[in-house]
């Protein structure tokens, strides 16, 4: 049986929730107005704008004494729901949303990475490829320092990409799509999202793959990446580094 103090606190929380929903209604009106000015899914998802909004919410949380993680996660969920609403209004509701990923996603991303890179391990006969032996702590540190995006379907992360900006160069790595979601355009959309998120700061993107990964090479070349150099890795295996100007 809740005591009087708990009942009183819950009543105040209910009052706050009412105000929060009223603010959400106001936000929805503005989102709908903005949505009418957009014509395609890219403009609706605008990952760079989303990353800025979430980052601003995180800083405001720190200023106001709230937990930045709770606020950032709340904002990501809220923005993702508004993006669905806007996409529905421009008629492209079926595509899953692309959002920023952070250290809180590390566990799921590691599982996804291990599942997706199993095919690469088979191609190279090497179960110890770096993405397969990366530890959770290493991944958390990477997510802390770099830029990352994820695609969620329901509650499941089904695709992700990570990168790091060094001067005007975006180093892209670990583009991964869950095996049952491959071939539906998610890899292409994730690459577009990370590229867009760093422009205009970065002017060039670079990534690499093994020389036997012909499907990956086909994807990268189709998206404008060109071979820059080959790096011998071990006898019979070379890494192909590709690059693309970002405008
Ligand atoms: C590479 C990868 C991210 C592509 O994602 P995707 O969502 O399947 O890609 P898209 O649907 O946007 O584009 C399809 C293209 O991706 C490439 N591709 C690579 N592996 C593929 C796969 N298993 N299934 C389908 N397409 C694949 C092909 O070029 C394909 O084009 P095609 O139809 O001309 O063959 C994904 O297949 C994956 O996670 N692979 C394992 C991990 C990996 O190798 N990552 C890249 C490391 S450099």
CATH number at residue 85: 1.20.59.10
pLDDT at 94: 59
The model's pLDDT over 206-228, given as tens digits with 9 standing for 90+, comes to: 999 999 999 999 999 999 999 99
Token digits of residue 93: 């509701």
Q: Which of 94, 121, 154 is the last residue of a domain?
A: 94
Q: Do 45 and 134 lie in a common domain?
A: no
SS3 (DSSP) at 107: helix
Statement: residue 105 has pLDDT above 60? yes
Residue nearest to ligand 1 atom 28, measured at CA: 215
> In the 8-state DSSP scheme, what is residue 3?
-
Q: Do 158 and 229 lie in a common domain?
A: yes
If one counts every other C-beta atom within 10 angstroms of the C-beta of residue 135, the result is 9
Q: Do 176 and 224 lie in a common domain?
A: yes
Q: Do 56 and 101 lie in a common domain?
A: no
Strand order in 98-100's β-sheet?
98-100, 147-153, 156-166, 169-177, 204-210, 237-245, 226-234
Statement: residue 93 has pLDDT above 60? no
The total number of structural domains that make up the chain: 2
Q: Rounded to two decimals, what is the model's pTM?
A: 0.70
The model's pLDDT over 116-163, given as tens digits with 9 standing for 90+, comes to: 999 999 999 999 999 999 999 999 999 999 999 999 988 899 999 999
Q: Do 119 and 215 lie in a common domain?
A: yes
- Give the rounded distance of the alpha carbon of 172 from its chain centre: 12
Q: For 94-110, b where at least 16 C-beta lie within 10 A, e where not — what string? A: ebbbbbbbbbebbebbb
Residue nearest to ligand 1 atom 5, measured at CA: 187
Cβ < 6 A, ligand 1 pocket:
116-117, 119-120, 175-177, 182-188, 209, 213, 215-216, 218-219
Q: Do 60 and 164 lie in a common domain?
A: no
């Amino acid at each position: 049986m809740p005591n009087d103090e708990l009942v009183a606190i819950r009543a105040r929380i209910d009052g706050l929730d009412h105000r929060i929903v009223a603010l959400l209604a106001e936000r929805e009106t503005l989102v709908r107005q903005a949505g009418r000015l957009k014509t395609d899914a890219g403009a609706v998802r605008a990952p760079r704008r989303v990353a800025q909004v979430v980052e601003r919410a995180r800083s405001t949380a720190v200023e106001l004494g709230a937990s930045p993680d709770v606020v950032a996660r709340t904002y990501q969920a809220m923005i993702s729901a508004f993006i669905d609403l806007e996409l529905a209004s421009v008629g492209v509701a079926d595509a899953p949303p692309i959002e920023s990923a952070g250290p809180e996603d590390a566990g799921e991303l590691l599982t996804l990475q291990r599942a997706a890179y199993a095919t690469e391990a088979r191609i190279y006969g090497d179960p110890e490829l770096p993405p397969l032996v990366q530890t959770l702590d290493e991944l958390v540190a990477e997510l802390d320092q770099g830029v990352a995006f994820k695609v969620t379907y329901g509650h499941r992360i089904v695709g992700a990409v990570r990168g790091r900006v060094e001067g005007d160069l975006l180093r892209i790595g670990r583009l991964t799509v869950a095996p049952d979601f491959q071939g539906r355009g998610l890899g292409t959309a994730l690459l577009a999202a990370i590229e867009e998120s760093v422009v205009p700061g970065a002017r060039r993107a670079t990534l690499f793959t093994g020389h036997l990964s012909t499907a990956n090479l086909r994807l990268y070349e189709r998206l404008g990446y060109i071979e820059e150099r080959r790096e011998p890795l071990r006898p019979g295996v070379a890494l192909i580094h590709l690059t693309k100007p970002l405008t």
